[in-house]
Amino acid sequence: MKSTKEPMPSVAYFTWHLFTYQPFVSAASGLCWILFHSWPLFSGLLAKAFFDVLEGNAPAGLTLGSVVALVVALALVRIGFVYGDVLVGTFAGFSLQGLLQRNLLARILERPGARPLPGSVGEALSTLRDDVDGMQIMPGWFFDAIGFLIFSVGGLVILLSVDVQITLLVFIPTVLVIMLSYTARTRLKRVREQSRAG
């Protein structure tokens, strides 16, 4: 009798189902992380406003006192986001961890009693504890990436609005170095695999 293995779902499928287990909690946690990672943009804009006030180039109604008040208000809002994410993220993390551990244990108990686990008991315990810890944070990686993307694109737009030439002089060499290092890493990995195979 041939054993039929079920196809393994993709990482995107798995992550999406983790996210939709508690969509409102996951979305709230994700929003907090997006705002946390993109927050330095606001700090930079406030620093620009501060120096504009000192130089006398500030828009009408913007004074030194209003800039300081905005700095304090935004710092308090950021603290609120961090605490909110700690509360929501902890709840979401424990919920997902419990769901994954329950599903893994239920799958183990569905197996016939005479069929042992494919690995040792220690490996099973490691999967139930450590691997689940790693898997339950996967939905957050997507929001981290969005936050970093907003920060990067926003920073580039702000720099381009200040001085296009200097921005390009800084960014073009940086992009070239990143591309060269990626190409070199890929090539070194291929050479290493070939040397191990040969």
As a three-state string, the secondary structure of 31-69 is HHHHHHHHHHHHHHHHHHHHHHHHHCCCCCCCCHHHHHH
**pLDDT surpassing 80 at residue 169:** yes
Task: Select the more confidently predicted residue: 37 or 108.
Answer: 37
Nearest Cα residue to 33 out of 72, 89, 97, 73: 89
Mean pLDDT on 109-113: 75
Nearest Cα residue to 152 out of 141, 167, 138, 165: 167
**pLDDT surpassing 60 at residue 3:** no
What are the pLDDT digits (tens) for 68-98? 888 899 889 888 888 888 888 888 888 888 8
Residue 193 pLDDT class (50, 70, 90 cuts): confident
**pLDDT surpassing 90 at residue 118:** no
pLDDT value of position 1: 45
Angle at 140 between CA 26 and CA 158, to 5 degrees: 105
Nearest Cα residue to 34 out of 175, 146, 176: 146
User: Rounded to whole angstroms, how far apart are CA atoms 19 and 136?
Assistant: 10
Percent residues over pLDDT 70 in the chain = 93
Say how many CA atoms lie within 13 Å of 175 toward its Cβ.
Answer: 8
**Are 89 and 29 within 8 A, CB to CB?**
yes
Per the rule left: phi > 0, alpha: psi between -120 and 50, beta: everything else, 61 is: left
**Are 38 and 154 within 8 A, CB to CB?**
yes
Map residue 9 onto helix, strand or coil. Answer: coil
**pLDDT surpassing 90 at residue 150:** yes
**pLDDT surpassing 70 at residue 105:** yes
Q: Where are the domains of the chain?
A: 11-162, 163-198
**pLDDT surpassing 80 at residue 190:** yes
pLDDT value of position 117: 65
Q: Name, in order, each residue with C-beta under 8 angstroms of 128's C-beta and a sequence gap of 6 or more.
A: 101, 104, 105
Mean pLDDT on 127-133: 76
For all residues of the chain together, what is the average pLDDT? 83
